[in-house]
Amino acid sequence: IKPHISQSIKGSIPSSNKVKNYMRAIEEPFVSSDKALASTLMNKLSGMKHNNSRSVREHIMEMRDIAARLKSLEFEISESFLVNFILNSLPVEYGAFQISYNTQKEKWSIYELLIMCVQEEERLKHGKVESAHLATHKGGQKKKGQK
């Protein structure tokens, strides 16, 4: 094993006649602390805001992935909490959408939220195109003499 280890780390590994001890000594410096990783992931999750630089689908999937990684570190995040957390990470354009969700009796799963948010994103894009069209055509009003 020793001849196959990079020269850059070979000097920092204490010698051992037992393979198991030698392998543990190699592994120790590269194992990250679960608590530190969980803290990093929680900070990332709590600071995430959707800023329209990517799709809402990508935003939700990344937040879901971080929650799954936290779960693997034994930091449980309920689906209901995550759904509400994601809704709160959406920009102000989704305000009516958020109100609509909050007035419903049933709770959505993360996948239902994903589907609904993608639909809302498309609706918002379509609305912006119509607004731009109306602005460039003076509100759709015809000038005198036009048919």
- Count how many residues are written for the chain: 147
Question: Does the pLDDT of residue 141 top 80, yes or no?
Answer: no
Least confident of 14-28, 29-43, 88-102: 14-28
- Integer Cα distance of 62 and 67 in angstroms: 9
User: What's the pLDDT at 69?
Assistant: 94
Q: Which of 60, 115, 110 is nearest to 89 (CA)?
A: 60
Tell me the pLDDT of the chain averaged across its residues: 83
User: What's the pLDDT at 129?
Assistant: 57
- Integer Cα distance of 126 and 73 in angstroms: 41
Number of C-beta neighbours around residue 109 at 10 A: 12
Task: Give the rounded distance of the alpha carbon of 16 from its chain centre.
Answer: 44
pTM equals 0.67
| Confidence bin at 135 (pLDDT 50/70/90) | very low
